[in-house]
Structure 1
Amino acid sequence: MIITVCIGSSCHLKGSREIVKTLESLISLHNLKNKVELNGSFCMENCLKGVCVKINEDVFSLEPKNTEQFFKEEVLRRLSNECNQL
């Protein structure tokens, strides 16, 4: 799984640095470094609502306060679904 967080100027002002730190921490906490690749990207042209984050090609809009919920609902769920399909 590839998670890409926008670190462009608009998203930076909306908290992308905090989101990256939270995701790094959660990936480490759940021992997912070998399953999740965390990348940064400059403007992904979807920054009106919040920080633009992609899981593979699916686009989400995050705020620092909903990053943990996003991780549980999207990242862990998707990884669980992948494991169940094997």
Structure 2
Amino acid sequence: MIKIKVCIGSACHVKGSRRVVEGLQYQIAERKLKDKINLGGVFCMGRCQEGVCVTVDDKFYSVSPDKVTEFFETEVLPLVK
């Protein structure tokens, strides 16, 4: 199972982490991948300047709310088996 974690700490919250989470939830639901992807929130990843901080199987990414779909298609979908 793919594990996606989104920082919901204050710095990332200000940069739109809620919209990133909602965008990822939408992508997962639309593609019926709830049984293959575990989406969760975490507090501070220690890279606040880079936020919104996201990890996919412990690989770090900075994802802006307007790039969620592109991020999902290029970084997450290729991992789905």
TM class, shorter-length: over 0.9
CA contact (8 A) 1:2 1:36 kept: yes
Q: Does 1:55 align with 2:76?
A: no
Aligned length: 80
1:15 and 2:55 matched: no
Once residues 29 and 55 of structure 1 are traced to their aligned partners in structure 2, the CA distance between those partners, rounded to angstroms, is 19
Aligned structure 1 segments of 4 or more residues deviating by more than 2 angstroms? none
Instruction: Could you tell me which runs of 5 or more consecutive residues in structure 1 were left unpaired when the two chains were aligned.
Output: none
Select the structure of larger CA radius of gyration: 1
TM normalised by structure 2 equals 0.95
Q: Extract unaligned runs of 5+ from structure 2.
A: none
User: d(CA) in 1 for partners of 2:34 and 2:75?
Assistant: 16
TM-align CA RMSD:
0.7
Checking the alignment, whether the CA contact within 8 Å between 1:47 and 1:61 is kept in structure 2 is no
The corresponding residue for 1:38 is 39
Deviation of 1:47 (Å): 2.1
The two structures have a TM-score, normalised by structure 1, of 0.90
Q: State the distance in 1 between where 2:48 and 2:64 align.
A: 11
